[in-house]
Structure 1
Amino acid sequence: MEALNLVLFVVEAVAYFVLMVTLLHFRHRLGLGVFLTALGVMHFMETYLAAVFYVSLPFGDVSPGSSVFFSGKLMMILMLYLWEDAATVRQPIYGLFLGNLLTVGIAWVLQLHQPLQLSSNHMPDVDFLKEMGWLMIWGTALLYVDSLGIILLYEKLGDFFRRRVVLRFMISGFVLLTFDQIGFFAALHYFLDVPVAVFWGGWKAKMLSVCLYGAMFAIYEYRIRRLGADAAARSISDVFGDLTFRERYNDLLERTGRDMLTGVYDRTRMELEAPLMLREALRQGLSATVLIIDADHFKDVNDGYGHLQGDVVLKSIAARLGTTLRSSDRIFRFGGEEFVAVCPGTNHEEGLLLAERLRWTIATSVKTPDDSPVTVSIGVATADEDGTSFTTVLSAADSRLYAAKKSGRNCIVGRSGVVKLG
């Protein structure tokens, strides 16, 4: 019987992870609300099972509600943070906490009624509602602390294991689910007189769950999410997508934030997207390089040939940047004659080579009306060597652009100084 229960335990964990990660994976098509709703509706069942439903496993008596489903919820919250942000994570936690308070409040109000007994076998159990309500409030309060703790610990572990995403994921789960087991068992022991022996079986089961979820997270992260990114980006047709004209909306969104002159993305779009691109690259254990490209002596072009000719030169530069950069890179007009390229998955040495290719391409193909070559200076900085935030990396690239200007222009400056002189 214990062996069968263990098999069912693993099946439940796998089924929960596959379903929830599928909803999270397609959140941009289905809507994040689908994932959050599925996460929330399980809360009552998790608490109820943790209070009354236990099975025997080879290492002790455990509740699937706590060991499989609540453990899975906490790991899903960490994954939600990794792919979204902390502001998104707090939404389901606040919703659960307020909903549970409402459950307790309604249970107290219902006591004022005189209910009818429509069936001899079924009577309303208000005491059960109150008891479960208080347990859910305590469980949600712990979930709030667990969520903050697991996110902060995951980030702190980045100081030691920045590129070991799965290891950080599992260590964070081990530590916070140990804390949760202590906190929630205290409530079970106080309210329901659950024996102390159950504590150790539940803790071992939660550790097993973290191992299972960590293994599945690794498989998803390295075999499905990265390799299947193109497939995941394809539209999922459903009646809601048709009714809301999703294709038209996506087209409008793509055209929003474009620089009217050059057609590349503008500074506002950069401030929204570039930090996310860097954070996603670092989360995957990859580098991300930022280039600032500035047209040399561009004021002379405007003064000598007029602003219309200057606009033609800017358009030509933007066109060369667009055709030289890769599809995964993004180019933004930073202002005036400056452009910023964000290149995820690119280390510093690769960024310098890319910058040289851009410099050479523009110098050999963009001309002024009198057929003089137009050159650019480029500053290069890379996350995480030059910082982990986009603002920090951009500032480093800007300082190196200034150094390139002082070094005679038509050159590239990286971390080690001038790389290529024209």
Structure 2
Amino acid sequence: MLNSFLLLAEAVLYFGVMVTLFRFRDRIGLGVFVCALGVMHFLETYLASVFYVALPFGMVSPGSAVLFSGKLVMLLLLYVKEDAATVRQPIYGLLLGNGLMIGLVLVLRLHGISPLPNGKLPDIGFIDQMGWLMVWGTTLLFIDAILIILLYEKLGRYLRKALFSRILISVACVLTFDQAGFFTALHFVAGAPIAVFFGGWFAKMGAALAYSIMLVAYIRWFEARQIPAPRGLSDIFDTLTYRERYEALVEHVGRDGLTGLLHRGRFDSDGEAAVAASLRTARPLSLLIIDVDHFKSINDRFGHAEGDKVLKSMAALLGEIVGREDQVFRIGGEEFAILCSRPHPVARLLGESIRHAVKASASTSRFDITVSAGISTVSETTRCLADLFALADQRLYKAKSTGRDRVVGEPGGHQADGLAARARPDRGLGG
């Protein structure tokens, strides 16, 4: 029990000091963080070869479970918050530095060694053992660092919003690979028993969980989100295409500044593409236009700051209710649009779900909030975004004029509806 507590305390201490140095990198320089990262390399290798403690699931070395795992997480943090051009510097520095150490040791062996007054001589065998273990460990670290970054980027396509899962999976997979590789060398060089492998693996999985929790907490609480610009590279790191950062930049440019939703320009471009795809594939596509009732009176009575809060809460609520493939836009002051791949009846149920959710969420507010919605679906008479929007807009106007707090979406898309929608000029609902 004491050994487990001490390992956790060591991990917290290591992480705390390292992220403090990283946090103040703009003031003291990133080199302080990188040097602190590198100076621990000898200690972690030494501990991994000779220093073990007993845990219920096997033999564990703090050098491997705490220091090496922590170093890998620090390199991932360096990549996430900086870029590949920066993270390659300590990786190559460790690799080349250990190569230099081996070269110097080979030259040092040529010296005629004089004993100290007490007769003590250097243990060249120990230096050889440590040197080759450090080279092997650094080589593994080089591979591990590239793997964890590539895996982190790959998982970004599926777990962009699940940062903890993304980091944990990346760290756990790479630490498993590393444990197998380093134990192989340790077994042949130092005669480590198989209990060391299993104990080390369990400990590294625990370290992956602990470090992932601390890393996500640090990123969310202390690091402002940044989108660094892509930079050219000339080696293996060329494989890191910065696709995620590019896509994040595109997403940021196409979003409304207040709510974070896609804006009207994206609605026009994405909507046309969605309608064309619906006609080509015969997949249903429905449009919901949602308007906050009496929004002007909210601004007049409680101020624009309160009105902004309402819009932000609406954006958050819509994001929670709609499906992952649906797109939510803010297309006007208090007007939102949803493009969803659902047939008309299902889209109408979605509209009703949103209406009820808004009323329920407003129960703790100082004032009532309701919404009205109009729905249209791609059909023979709505074969472009303009027709689809006009019909949904007409039905929204009907919902507003017949009492608000309702969803109007007569099924079908009849010719009369389509012609009437196209004939109606643009209007301002005014809440």
Q: TM-score when scaled to structure 2? A: 0.56
Q: Corresponding residue for 2:98? A: 100
Q: Distance in 2 between matches of 1:143 and 1:178?
A: 13
1:107-256 superposed matches below 5 A: 107-120=105-118, 122-226=120-224
CA contact (8 A) 1:59 1:201 kept: yes
Partner SS, residue 288 of structure 1:
helix
- 1:282-317, CA deviations, whole angstroms, 9 ceiling, x for partnerless residues? 49xx951248xxxxxxxxxxxxxxxxxxxxxxxxxx
Structure 2 vs 1, CA of residues 123 and 200 (structure 1 numbering), >3 Å: closer, same or farther? same
Distance verdict in 2 for CA 1:116–1:218, change over 3 Å:
same
- Note closer, same or farther for the CA distance 1:209–1:83 as it changes in structure 2 (3 Å cut): same
Report the counterpart of residue 262 of structure 2 in structure 1: 348
Residue 160 of structure 1 aligns to a residue in which SS?
coil
Report the AA paired with residue 194 of structure 2: V
User: Which residue number in structure 2 is paired with residue 279 of structure 1?
Assistant: 245
Q: Equivalent pairs: percent with the same residue?
A: 50
- Relative to structure 1, the CA distance from residue 221 to residue 55 in structure 2 (aligned partners, 3 Å threshold; closer, same or farther) is same
**Residues in 2 aligned to 1:111 and 1:151: alpha-carbon distance in whole angstroms:** 39
In the TM superposition, residue 171 of structure 1 has moved relative to its aligned partner by 0.3
Give the C-alpha shift of residue 346 in structure 1: 3.0
Given the alignment, which residue of 21, 24, 40 partners 1:23? 21
What is the distance in 1 between the residues matched to 2:253 and 2:389? Answer: 16
- Taking a change above 3 Å as real, the CA distance of residues 168 and 350 of structure 1, as seen in their structure-2 partners, is farther
| Contact persistence 2:73–2:171 (CA under 8 A) | yes
**Structure whose CA Rg is larger:** 2
Q: Does structure 1 conserve the Cα–Cα contact (< 8 Å) formed by 2:254 and 2:266?
A: no
Matched-pair contact (CA < 8 Å) for 2:51–2:61: yes
Counterpart of 1:91 in structure 2 is: 89
* Structure 2 CA distance for aligned equivalents of residues 78 and 69 of structure 1: 14
Alignment correspondent of 1:12: 10
Q: Aligned match of 2:253 in 274, 289, 294?
A: 289
CA–CA separation in structure 2 for the residues paired with 1:344 and 1:281: 20
Mark the runs of 5 or more structure 2 residues left unpaired by the alignment.
Answer: 232-240, 268-324, 326-384, 394-425
Distance 2:152 2:177 in 1: 15
What is the 5 A alignment of 1:375-394? none
Partner in structure 2 of residue 55 of structure 1: 53
Number of equivalences: 269
Do the aligned residues in 2 keep the contact of 1:174 with 1:210 (CA within 8 Å)? yes
CA distance in 2: counterparts of 1:217 and 1:131, whole angstroms: 34
SS of equivalent to 1:61 = strand
Q: Which runs of 5+ in 1 are unaligned?
A: 230-268, 292-341, 354-384, 386-412
The alpha-carbon deviation at position 222 of structure 1 amounts to: 2.4
| Whole-Å separation in 1 of the counterparts to 2:11 and 2:259 | 33
CA contact (8 A) 2:53 2:61 kept: yes
> Does the 8 Å contact 1:289/1:346 carry over to 2?
no
> What displacement does 1:159 show?
1.5
1:40-61 Cα offsets, whole Å, 9 max, x none, are 0111111000000001112211
Aligned with 2:131: secondary structure?
helix
**How many Å separate the matches in 2 of 1:124 and 1:224?**
47
Give the Cα–Cα distance (whole angstroms) in 1 for the partners of residues 78 and 259 of structure 2.
22
Aligned residue type for 2:261: N
Matched-pair contact (CA < 8 Å) for 2:254–2:262 = no
Seen in structure 2, the aligned counterparts of structure 1 residues 351 and 225 have a Cα distance that, compared at 3 Å, is: farther
Hey, what does 1:82 align to over in structure 2? 80
Q: Distance in 2 between matches of 1:189 and 1:74?
A: 22
Deviation at 1:114, TM superposition (A): 1.5
Q: Name the SS of the counterpart of 2:158 in structure 1.
A: helix
Secondary structure of the 1:348 match is coil
Kept after mapping to 2: 8 A contact 1:104/1:129: no
